[in-house]
């Protein structure tokens, strides 16, 4: 094959893939709208549109034409630098094609339609603490996930088929191995802190904070981090999220509680972290299947890094606390920065995952990881799930929800499917490893945070992580960025060091 | 063909058409977002997504599969009641197929992409009064419209190909005939009023009106008309519009001027009229190509009916004026309802179409209708267009814009294409004819409006117009609803009667 023929082929492949990206972005716009501004009446029609677009997307991604282009492109890029964009575009697109081609189009549409309908049911069920209304939809999603994993195939556990999608290169067993190592260490740390829980007073966070001011502060801090509002938005939702329609339109959402400051403020920092990742994708790959974050775990590492490693650090608050005090006149005048920092980092087993502290958070995730596996393999039935949830909360965290709204109904995820929760805990682990690497490269980073300077950090993340999109697989990316394979040691070092300073351990 | 085979065929056709509707709705969601919440960075990516989806929509609507289904379905429904949904679904879908199949897919994508990009250019050009930056995009749109009309074909004038799309059954010549009859009568009326213009004082409308209160009043009045906010939304945009994603998600937008009350309030009534039409489509046809308003002209008749025939009538204000006075304490205390009503109906030739009074409005439209034809057939060049615009404003309305922002750049339409303006004037004509018919059926309607009762009116419109969607062609629908063919006589009767009461004619 001549070189010019090879170039023509890649152009044709890229054109086809760019249209697939266009369809995917359109689906994301419909999702975003559904979660922000869609009136209640819209849900049935939206389910239809999403199902049809998912069907079209799937048909395009599994077409004989694309399959042939990818096969020919593999030959065409075989001699290219394995670190080049083109080589990895073909590699990643081919792997996704091979996966998708096993899934029938009608199943894709059914999953999309069911998810859109189940979302509205979940919103009402959580509001009304009505698990019974959601149960049939949970069962539908389980049945669909079983059919899906049967089609995709797996070697050890059907859950592997879902883990591989969220965390390329990982399996149920490899996630379990990490969690098994981590769980006892986290439990030990929680237990060590337990007798001293009340030495930290978080009541200052539970005073009254004007919502409009909270929103202004959230916008200010996210903009200072580097989130670009000419290429993004901040809106309100029941369940906060980040979503991308390409690096130049990346949107985040949050929710407000006028009696709990961290809800929106830390939530906005969290979603900004996701947003910074997506806004930082290299322009050359944004309109390709490489043009978004590489895995759920690496994505979550960035939201956690900005939320916790920056946003719950003392240096950051030495910079930003006076701004917050000024913003709420008379509310925090009696609270000094160190007390505020300690309040933000109070460790106490609690019912709601998204409000959990850094130490107990991982336990919420491990519970869900095992719970999903149980729902999928039938060891937990939909009927018994609320009771099983409450029992598991006792096992993992020593507390029991008083209602299903505070228990099994709290997360949006199972209205849409399964297989993503492990990424939240992996994210914390990866964040710690990345944070150690940035600190090693820039030991004065805490001083910079104390000055409200975030550009050194953002530049490092851009160069080492954001820029690459999905070009390198997660394990490879982590090795390149940090010089070491994934390890939970930096995470436990970070937790012991930080919380050893807050509590007397 | 057996009856059961016929039913199976229709089901297959409806399934295919419903997916086409789904794609169209998705495009509308992307359009809505682009015009409401999309950050500036999103425009290039949005243009790509819209172009790809328009291409897919076109491919689906011109597929050999659909063509064959439609051909077979024509036979299958030949024996059905010509007033049945199925008969008309096949009739309307086949006509649209025959039109679309002549247009190449790449032209459709190019029109969509160019329109999305040109929109952003137009917004900036109008803001900066910079016609030169918009001119190349206007030229692109003219070139695209010429290619489009060449493909569609036409007998007398290429503009016919665009008129037929907006107003099924009409031609350039038939529109011109109506406008030629109307123009001298409107000019006469304007001239008769001219010496008395200053006997009506509209300065009360130009006081200071809190924007949030304006929005609340807009929501209140639209909800009282019957616009259902559980199936709709009101948002803010540069150029107000209504858009539908099916009868259960119909959205309207408006814009606010704190120093000009009618901008948002009358604008919201106008868009509510469009919204009421779309929300009133029969559920049985909402998910089919029959499931939206039948023509630009009939659509505009409903926005005008609610805005002008209801919203600028004395009986309505006898009901609603005390609410408005209470909403803005101290602002309108010295203005009685009759003075307010007269202010709202002041006739004076002005530069901006969307702010024009009921008498001069039609002249703005006739100007644009001839201007579009001139741009398309080359008798007006893009370079000379601003000057030609200003000269035409002199001819039609006796005034000249001082800037292009107040002149040729004022309307969003030419960022997206050509062929829709005549509908605005036809809408006024149709609205008058419909209004006469409702009044004949319900002579106490003014009394009902005076009580804030709109349900009799809405029910009549539902039954006679909204319910049918595109099932009957405009001329047929007008005949069925009013018992007479389209005529401009009721319109002139209405204007002479109303403005004869406001001025001494």
pLDDT tens digits, residue range A321-380? 999 999 999 999 999 999 999 999 999 999 999 889 999 999 999 999 999 999 999 999
Alpha-carbon dihedral angle through residues B311, B312, B318, B319, given to the nearest 10 degrees: 10
- Helices A337-344 and A314-327: crossing angle in degrees, nearest 10, is 110
Determine which of B25, B49, B51, B53 to mutate to test the interface with A (most A C-beta atoms within 10 Å). Answer: B49
Kindly indicate the confidence band of residue B369, based on its pLDDT and cuts at 50, 70 and 90.
Answer: very high
Average pLDDT over residues B332-341: 98
| Tokens at B139, concatenated | 């030229």
- Predicted confidence (pLDDT) per residue in B404-431, tens digit: 999 999 999 999 999 999 999 999 999 9
Asked whether residue B79 carries a pLDDT value surpassing 50, the answer given is yes
| Tokens at B130, concatenated | 């910079």
Taking alpha carbons only, the member of A236, A319, A238, A234 closest to residue A274 is A234
Asked whether residue B1 carries a pLDDT value surpassing 50, the answer given is no
Give dist(CA B323, CA B216) in Å, integer: 11
* Minimal CA separation from B269 to chain A, in Å: 19
Asked whether residue B378 carries a pLDDT value surpassing 80, the answer given is yes
- Predicted confidence (pLDDT) per residue in B291-302, tens digit: 999 999 999 999
- Asked if A370 and A169 touch (Cβ cutoff 8 Å), the reply is no
* Minimal CA separation from B102 to chain A, in Å: 23
| Tokens at B58, concatenated | 């076109």
Q: Which CATH architecture has domain A172-502?
A: Orthogonal Bundle (1.10)
pLDDT of the residue at A1: 39
Angle, alpha carbons B121-A33-B307 (nearest 5°): 70
* Site of tokens 């605005």: B424
Cβ neighbours of residue B378 closer than 8 Å, sequence gap 6 or more: none
Q: Cβ contacts (< 8 Å) between A124 and chain B: which residues? A: none
Phi/psi at B364 (5° precision): -55, -40
Sign for the CA dihedral angle at A128, A130, A136, A140 comes to positive
* Minimal CA separation from B363 to chain A, in Å: 38
Q: Cβ contacts (< 8 Å) between A33 and chain B: which residues? A: 29, 32-33
- Asked if B408 and B389 touch (Cβ cutoff 8 Å), the reply is yes
Give dist(CA B115, CA B103) in Å, integer: 17
Give dist(CA A486, CA A429) in Å, integer: 8
- Asked if B230 and B210 touch (Cβ cutoff 8 Å), the reply is no
Kindly indicate the confidence band of residue B112, based on its pLDDT and cuts at 50, 70 and 90.
Answer: confident
Give dist(CA B301, CA B310) in Å, integer: 12
B45 and A235: CB-CB below 8 Å? Answer: no
* Site of tokens 């049809």: A52
- Asked if A293 and A299 touch (Cβ cutoff 8 Å), the reply is yes
Coil, strand, or helix at residue A478? helix
Give dist(CA A267, CA A247) in Å, integer: 21
Give dist(CA A111, CA A148) in Å, integer: 9
Asked whether residue B3 carries a pLDDT value surpassing 70, the answer given is no
**Which residue ranges does chain A devote to CATH 1.10.1370.30?**
172-502
B56 and A246: CB-CB below 8 Å? Answer: no
Of A39, A56, A248, the CB nearest to B229: A39
Write the CA distances from A312 to A203, A214, B346, integer angstroms.
17, 17, 61
pLDDT of the residue at A368: 97
Per-residue exposure over A315-334, b if at least 16 CB sit within 10 Å of its own CB, e if not? bbbbbbbeebbebbeebbee
Which active-site residues of A does the annotation give?
A: 271
A45 and B248: CB-CB below 8 Å? Answer: yes
Instruction: Count other C-beta atoms under 10 Å from residue B99's C-beta.
Output: 17
Give dist(CA B84, CA B336) in Å, integer: 51
Which residues of A lie inside 8 Å of B (Cβ-Cβ)? 18-19, 22-23, 25-26, 29-30, 32-33, 37-42, 44-46, 48-49, 51-53, 55-56, 228-233, 235, 245-246, 248-249, 251, 286-287
Of A29, A229, A233, the CB nearest to B30: A29
A249 and B45: CB-CB below 8 Å? Answer: yes
Q: Cβ contacts (< 8 Å) between B286 and chain A: which residues? A: 45
Asked whether residue B245 carries a pLDDT value surpassing 50, the answer given is yes
pLDDT of the residue at A383: 97
Q: Cβ contacts (< 8 Å) between B32 and chain A: which residues? A: 33
Give dist(CA A47, CA A115) in Å, integer: 8
Taking alpha carbons only, the member of B328, B205, B334, B313 closest to residue B257 is B205
Half-sphere exposure at residue A154, Cβ-oriented, CA atoms within 13 angstroms = 20
Give dist(CA B351, CA B372) in Å, integer: 18
Sign for the CA dihedral angle at B93, B96, B101, B104 comes to negative
Instruction: ipTM value, please give it.
Output: 0.92
Per-residue model confidence as pLDDT tens for chain A (505 residues): 344 445 699 999 999 999 999 999 999 999 999 999 999 999 999 999 999 999 999 999 999 999 999 999 999 999 999 999 999 999 999 999 999 999 998 999 899 889 989 988 999 999 999 999 999 999 999 999 999 999 999 999 999 999 999 999 999 999 999 999 999 999 999 999 999 999 999 999 999 999 999 999 999 999 999 999 999 999 999 889 999 999 999 999 999 999 999 999 999 999 999 999 999 999 999 999 999 999 999 999 999 999 999 999 999 999 999 999 999 999 999 999 999 999 999 999 999 998 899 999 999 999 999 999 999 999 999 999 999 999 999 999 999 999 999 999 999 999 999 999 999 999 999 999 999 999 999 999 999 999 999 999 999 999 999 999 999 999 999 999 999 999 999 999 999 999 999 998 8
Coil, strand, or helix at residue B261? helix
% pLDDT > 70, chain B: 99
Per-residue exposure over A81-104, b if at least 16 CB sit within 10 Å of its own CB, e if not? eeeebbbbbbbbbbebbebbeebe
B49 and A228: CB-CB below 8 Å? Answer: no
% pLDDT > 90, chain B: 95
A51 and B248: CB-CB below 8 Å? Answer: no
**Which residue ranges does chain B devote to CATH 1.10.1370.30?**
193-347+421-502
* Minimal CA separation from A318 to chain B, in Å: 32
Of A22, A44, A51, the CB nearest to B49: A22
DSSP strand pairing (B250-254 vs B242-244)? antiparallel
Q: Which residue of A has its CA nearest to B49?
A: A22
A37 and B235: CB-CB below 8 Å? Answer: yes
pLDDT of the residue at B327: 98
Determine which of B45, B56, B292 to mutate to test the interface with A (most A C-beta atoms within 10 Å). Answer: B45
Q: How long a stretch of residues is chain B? A: 505
Asked whether residue B7 carries a pLDDT value surpassing 90, the answer given is no
Q: Which residue of B has its CA nearest to A45?
A: B246
* Minimal CA separation from B224 to chain A, in Å: 18
pTM of the model: 0.93
- With 0-12 / 13-18 / 19 or more C-beta atoms within 10 angstroms meaning exposed / middle / buried, residue A64 is exposed
A41 and B235: CB-CB below 8 Å? Answer: no
- Asked if A346 and A187 touch (Cβ cutoff 8 Å), the reply is no
Cβ neighbours of residue A88 closer than 8 Å, sequence gap 6 or more: A82, A290, A470, A471, A472
pLDDT of the residue at B239: 85
* Minimal CA separation from B17 to chain A, in Å: 11
Q: Cβ contacts (< 8 Å) between A59 and chain B: which residues? A: none
* Minimal CA separation from B199 to chain A, in Å: 45
- With 0-12 / 13-18 / 19 or more C-beta atoms within 10 angstroms meaning exposed / middle / buried, residue B402 is exposed
* Site of tokens 């029992």: A391
Q: Cβ contacts (< 8 Å) between A248 and chain B: which residues? A: 41-42, 44-45
Q: Which residue of A has its CA nearest to B288?
A: A45
B29 and A25: CB-CB below 8 Å? Answer: no
pLDDT of the residue at A373: 97
Q: Which residue of A has its CA nearest to B279?
A: A41
> How does DSSP classify residue A129?
T
Give dist(CA B194, CA B451) in Å, integer: 34
* Site of tokens 């999905």: A470
Kindly indicate the confidence band of residue B5, based on its pLDDT and cuts at 50, 70 and 90.
Answer: very low
Q: Cβ contacts (< 8 Å) between A120 and chain B: which residues? A: none
Quick one: how far is CA B353 from the chain centroid? Answer: 13
| In CATH, A3-153 is 3.30.70 | no
- Which CATH class, in words, describes the domain spanning B193-347+421-502? mainly alpha
Cβ neighbours of residue A353 closer than 8 Å, sequence gap 6 or more: A361, A364, A365, A368, A410, A411, A424
- Asked if A315 and A267 touch (Cβ cutoff 8 Å), the reply is no
DSSP strand pairing (A250-254 vs B232-236)? unpaired
Give dist(CA A324, CA A266) in Å, integer: 13
pLDDT of the residue at A7: 60
What strands lie across the sheet with A232-236, from one edge to the other?
A232-236, A250-254, A242-244
- Asked if B478 and B485 touch (Cβ cutoff 8 Å), the reply is yes
Of B45, B55, B248, the CB nearest to A25: B45
Interface contacts A/B by beta carbons within 8 Å: 119
pLDDT of the residue at B238: 82
B41 and A230: CB-CB below 8 Å? Answer: yes
What strands lie across the sheet with B250-254, from one edge to the other?
B232-236, B250-254, B242-244
Q: Which residue of B has its CA nearest to A53?
A: B23
- Asked if B18 and B246 touch (Cβ cutoff 8 Å), the reply is no
Coil, strand, or helix at residue A233? strand
């Amino acid at each position: 094959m001549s070189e010019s023929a090879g170039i023509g082929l890649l152009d044709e492949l890229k054109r086809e893939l760019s249209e697939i990206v266009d369809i995917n972005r359109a689906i994301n716009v419909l999702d975003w709208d559904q979660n922000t501004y869609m009136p209640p009446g819209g849900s049935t029609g939206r389910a239809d549109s999403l199902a049809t677009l998912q069907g079209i997307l799937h048909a395009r991604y599994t077409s004989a034409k694309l399959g042939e282009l990818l096969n020919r492109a593999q030959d065409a890029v075989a001699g290219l630098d394995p670190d080049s964009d083109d080589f990895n575009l073909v590699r990643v697109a081919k792997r996704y094609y091979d996966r998708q081609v096993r899934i029938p189009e009608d199943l894709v549409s059914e999953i999309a339609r069911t998810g859109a309908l189940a979302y509205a049911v979940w919103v009402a069920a959580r509001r009304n603490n009505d698990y019974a209304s959601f149960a049939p939809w949970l069962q539908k999603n389980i049945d669909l996930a079983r059919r899906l994993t049967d089609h995709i195939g797996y070697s050890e556990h059907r859950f592997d088929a879902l883990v591989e999608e969220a965390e390329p290169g990982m399996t149920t067993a490899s996630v379990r191995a990490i969690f098994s190592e981590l769980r006892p260490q986290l439990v030990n740390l929680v237990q060590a802190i337990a007798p001293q829980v009340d030495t930290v007073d978080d009541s200052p966070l539970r005073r009254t904070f004007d919502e409009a001011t909270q929103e202004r502060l959230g916008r200010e801090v996210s903009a200072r981090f580097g989130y670009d509002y000419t290429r993004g938005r901040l809106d309100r939702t029941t369940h906060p999220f980040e979503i991308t329609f390409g690096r130049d339109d990346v949107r985040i959402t949050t929710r407000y509680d006028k009696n709990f400051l961290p809800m929106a403020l830390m939530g906005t920092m969290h979603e900004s972290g996701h947003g910074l990742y997506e806004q930082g994708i290299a322009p050359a790959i944004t309109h390709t299947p490489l043009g978004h974050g590489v895995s759920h775990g690496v994505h979550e590492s960035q939201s956690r890094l900005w939320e916790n490693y920056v946003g719950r650090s003392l240096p950051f608050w030495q910079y930003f606390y006076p701004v917050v005090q000024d913003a709420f006149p008379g509310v925090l005048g009696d609270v000094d920065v160190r007390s505020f920092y300690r309040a933000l980092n109070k460790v106490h087993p609690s019912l709601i995952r998204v409000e959990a502290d850094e130490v107990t958070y991982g336990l919420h995730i491990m519970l869900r990881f095992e719970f999903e596996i149980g729902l999928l393999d039938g060891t937990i039935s939909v009927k018994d799930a609320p009771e099983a949830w409450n029992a598991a909360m006792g096992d993992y965290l020593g507390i029991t929800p008083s209602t299903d709204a505070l228990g099994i109904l709290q997360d949006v995820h199972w209205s849409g499917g399964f297989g993503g929760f492990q990424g939240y805990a992996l994210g914390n682990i990866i964040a710690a490893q990345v944070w150690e690497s940035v600190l090693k490269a820039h030991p004065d980073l805490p001083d910079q945070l104390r000055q409200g300077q975030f550009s050194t950090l953002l530049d490092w993340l851009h160069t080492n992580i954001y820029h690459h999109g999905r070009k390198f697989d997660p394990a490879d990316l982590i090795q390149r960025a940090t010089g070491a394979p994934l390890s939970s040691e930096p995470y436990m070092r970070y937790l012991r060091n930080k919380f050893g300073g807050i509590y007397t351990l």
